Amino acid sequence: MPASISVIGTGYLGATHAACMAELGHDVIAYDVDATKIAALADGVLPFFEPGLEELLRRHTASGRLRFTTSVAELAERADVHFICVGTPQRADGLAADTSHVEAALLALVPHLTRSSLVVGKSTVPVGTAARLNQLAQESAAPGVTVEVAWNPEFLREGHAVRDTLAPDRVVLGVSSPEAEKVLRFVYDSFVVDEVPVLVTDLATAELVKSAANAFLATKITFANVMAELCDATGADVVTLADALGFDQRIGRRFLGAGIGFGGGCLPKDVRALMASAGELGVDNLFGFLREVDAANTRRRHVVVEAAVAQCGGTLVGARVACLGAAFKPGTDDVRDSPALDVAARLQHLGAHPVVYDPKANGTGARAFPALTFVDTVDEAVQGADLVMLLTEWPELVALDPRGLLNRVGSPRILDGRNALDPESWRNAGWIYQACGRP
Ligand code: UDX
């Protein structure tokens, strides 16, 4: 028998969760305050790019297992398990995460509940939030209605969201009662039996697993980037170094990619939120190194811009720079805290004329940075360029033919901000090739 599930918030996380729960066979109703978005989703149109997701959306809006609404009362009426998937962006007034959307979602839903229900948070929140929401749920529930709050953090990566949701590395269930565990095990039953590890924890541990995972990944990337700076100072090669480190099974090669650093809607804000949360708990001395991770990550953007200045003979004034890539990473049109666009904007401030091309993120990029020039093809971007910069390692950009581009550019100079290109083939084709932390 399927579970009746509601999903509150239809961004990258919520839309993916809703479609994947329908794919697992459940009856799903998804809610958002944004009526335009809900109308598009109900028509099977995904308002952002995520490989494979629109197909699932279409399949399950057609099958009737996935419905959309702008009525919270309808969620309460139809579903027994309610997943909160709204955003927790960085607060405008500091480093902490803004949990007001999560709280608002809970407070909007709970008074409508007329039978015992489980509310499951998936958003990334500071430790202690779930316990506080549990208390709020008790206070706002109608008399005689039992509402429990559980926490089930989501580890999906943009660009791989469907796969990460349907075949996760692990499932973490933060619960306060055996009943909540039973309900969640039932929801995830079809892949639990496929031997995905399930860890049942208290609420605080579940919240912290997510913050810790993202802080660890950010630290790992930054370690590679700091080594890249050391390699620049010594003539060593950070890619070979990372390969050699990666063969050590205790370390592993993934997330040792040096370049212009991490961005996106999660890693940067989660690192800061963890520091802020430690400060609020009176243990801010624990995370001095995360301050350095954050600073070193921002420094990467500066270092790459400095390299561009050097490549262009000491000044960028009047230089035409082809910026290949705008998304914060390949496989998405998300430009939140995108290192690529930050670099392009910095080039512009220094007097250059950056021309940006991204296979999927031109639209989102132009909305976030209206002063930058976006073009529809690589050819237009590189036309007459004094410097070409690879800023997001989309496969189609990594596969570019260096010989084919030669007669379009003004000067055959390329700066590989992601260490993704093959230096030899570019040099052999006649380019001056420079990467990050490579001789
Ligand atoms: C991240 C976590 O990986 C995911 O588990 C969590 O649920 C949400 O946050 P995401 O933001 O989609 O996912 O991106 P991720 O693939 O982690 O990449 C983050 C950033 O790190 C990107 O800007 C990427 O380009 C950069 N990165 C990644 C590197 O600079 N080097 C690497 O080796 C790997």
pLDDT in tens for each of the 439 residues of the chain?
789 999 999 999 999 999 999 999 999 999 999 999 999 999 999 999 999 999 999 999 999 999 999 999 999 999 999 999 999 999 999 999 999 999 999 999 999 999 999 999 999 999 999 999 999 999 999 999 999 999 999 999 999 999 999 999 999 999 999 999 999 999 998 776 678 999 999 999 999 999 999 999 999 999 999 999 999 999 999 999 999 999 999 999 999 999 999 999 999 999 999 999 999 999 989 999 999 999 999 999 999 999 999 999 999 999 999 999 999 999 999 999 999 999 999 999 999 999 999 999 999 999 999 999 999 999 999 999 999 999 999 999 999 999 999 999 999 999 999 999 999 999 999 999 999 999 9
Q: Residue 84 in 3-state DSSP? A: strand
Indicate whether this model's pTM tops 0.85: yes
Q: Which positions ≥6 away from 146 have C-beta within 8 Å?
A: 116, 117
Looking at the CA of residue 338, tell me the nearest atom of ligand 1: 23
Place of tokens 């811009």: 305
CA–CA dist 198, 354 (Å, integer)? 47
Name the residue with the closest Cα to ligand 1, atom 10.
Answer: 157
Give distance in angstroms: CA of 335 to centre of ligand 1.
13
Distance 157 CA to ligand 1 centre (A): 7
Question: Which ligand 1 atom minimizes the distance to the CA of 328?
Answer: 23
In the reported structure, the alpha carbon of residue 107 is separated from the centroid of ligand 1 by a whole-number distance in angstroms of 32
Residues taking part in catalysis: 266
Q: CB within 6 Å of ligand 1 — which residues?
A: 154-158, 214, 217, 221, 255-257, 259, 261-264, 266-267, 328-329
Q: How many residues does the chain have?
A: 439
Would you tell me the crossing angle of helices 288-311 and 339-349 to the nearest 10 degrees? 50
Atom nearest to 156 CA in ligand 1: 7
Q: For residue 82, what are the β-bridge partners?
A: 6, 119
Buried b (16+ CB within 10 A) or exposed e, 161-193: bbebbbebeebbbbbbeeebbebbeebbeebee
Can you tell me whether residue 353 is helix, strand or coil? Answer: strand
- How far apart CA 235 and CA 257 sit, in angstroms, is 18
Closest alpha carbon to 331 in 124, 48, 37, 30:
48
User: What is the whole-number distance in angstroms between the Cα of residue 218 and the centre of ligand 1?
Assistant: 8
